[in-house]
Amino acid sequence: MLIISIIVAAVSYSCSLSDEKSDAYGNFEAVDILVPAQGQGILESFTIEEGMMLNKGQVVGVIDTTQLYLQKQQLMAREKAAHSKLTSIEAQVEVQQEQLKTLKVDQNRITRLMQDSAVPARQLDDINGKINVVKKQINSVKVQKQGVRDEISAIESQIAQVNNQINRSIVVNPVSGVVLEKYAEAHEMAAPGKTLYKIANMNHLILRVYVSGVQLPKIKTGEKVQVLIDKTKDTNQSLKGTITWISPQAEFTPKIIQTKEERVNLVYAVKVSVKNDGRLKIGMPGEINFTE
């Protein structure tokens, strides 16, 4: 009887271990980014493939910039012509300034002669009239000079816009990660906002699990949890994770998680960040325990 009792106890203990359940279940997902084109034109080159590892800042494609280059050349020619016009106006102002100096010298000489009654007053009136004319000419040329400066400033802004468009025609990868999907091929037409590919950072994955209202008060963001993934049919591997987000609203349990009876229960979604050492894959199932 003693032997039978020991065997029954051992079987019961073994069954209790196999029936032990984790606190929550879910699947791994990545924070993916849809990378759009920012330029308009033919995608001259596009060197990525699905599954490829990309670094942040890596150039992966180039959109044709021929029209933008020609537009920039035209603007630069206009800018050069405007600068030549400005140089001509500045030279004209210098000539008029010299004329004004000469007239003022004559004005002073005639004024002194008038004091001695050596010249008639009409000569002073004439020289004063010439001085006023030159001053008005100088003011008129200065207005033209400012207009040319404004024109140059406008052209420089247009060149900056074209340069920005040229830079946007270079497809630069925004984050380090793995290409999940590719939506375009070389020599296809690209347009601003058109998605070129999807990329995800695989260094950290998110395990999205669901907890009941009873479990909710026991957890908080920033809390460390134990993450379990399948090792064999009967054993698990343990990883560490951190709760990064808890849904503020309840929802019905997703069909892929629990049985039909349990799907009618309201639960809260929870995201757990897990460092990926290469074992984790998108869509892989996982479990968590709130206390390690």
**In this structure, are residues 36 and 193 in contact, taking their beta carbons and an 8 Å threshold?**
yes
CA atoms within 13 A on the CB side of 1: 0
**In this structure, are residues 273 and 244 in contact, taking their beta carbons and an 8 Å threshold?**
yes
Whole-number Å distance between alpha carbons of 61 and 54 = 12
**In this structure, are residues 138 and 97 in contact, taking their beta carbons and an 8 Å threshold?**
yes
Instruction: Choose among 65, 63, 60: nearest CA to 172.
Output: 60
**Confidence at residue 13, expressed as pLDDT on a 0 to 100 scale:** 36
Low pLDDT (below 50) residues in the chain: 1-19
This prediction has a pTM of 0.64
**Pairing, β 189-190 against β 24-29:** unpaired
Instruction: Choose among 39, 63, 65, 78: nearest CA to 157.
Output: 78
- Tens digits of per-residue pLDDT, 269-286? 999 999 998 899 999 999
**In this structure, are residues 245 and 228 in contact, taking their beta carbons and an 8 Å threshold?**
no
The CB density around residue 177, as the number of other CB atoms within 10 Å, is 22
Who's near 246: CB < 8 A, 6+ residues apart?
Answer: 216, 219, 220, 221, 268, 269, 270, 271
The CB-based long-range contact list for 258-262 (8 Å cut-off, 24+ gap) reads: 258/25
Domains, the chain, with CATH or none: 23-31+202-289 (2.40.30.170), 66-168 (1.10.287)
In DSSP terms, which residues pair with 287 in a beta bridge?
25, 228
Whole-number Å distance between alpha carbons of 275 and 282 = 13
**Confidence at residue 284, expressed as pLDDT on a 0 to 100 scale:** 93
Whole-number Å distance between alpha carbons of 31 and 23 = 24
CA torsion through residues 153, 155, 158, 160, sign: negative
Q: Is 213 helix (H, G, I), strand (E, B) or coil?
A: coil
**Confidence at residue 3, expressed as pLDDT on a 0 to 100 scale:** 36
Whole-number Å distance between alpha carbons of 130 and 108 = 14
Whole-number Å distance between alpha carbons of 51 and 66 = 32
**Confidence at residue 55, expressed as pLDDT on a 0 to 100 scale:** 94
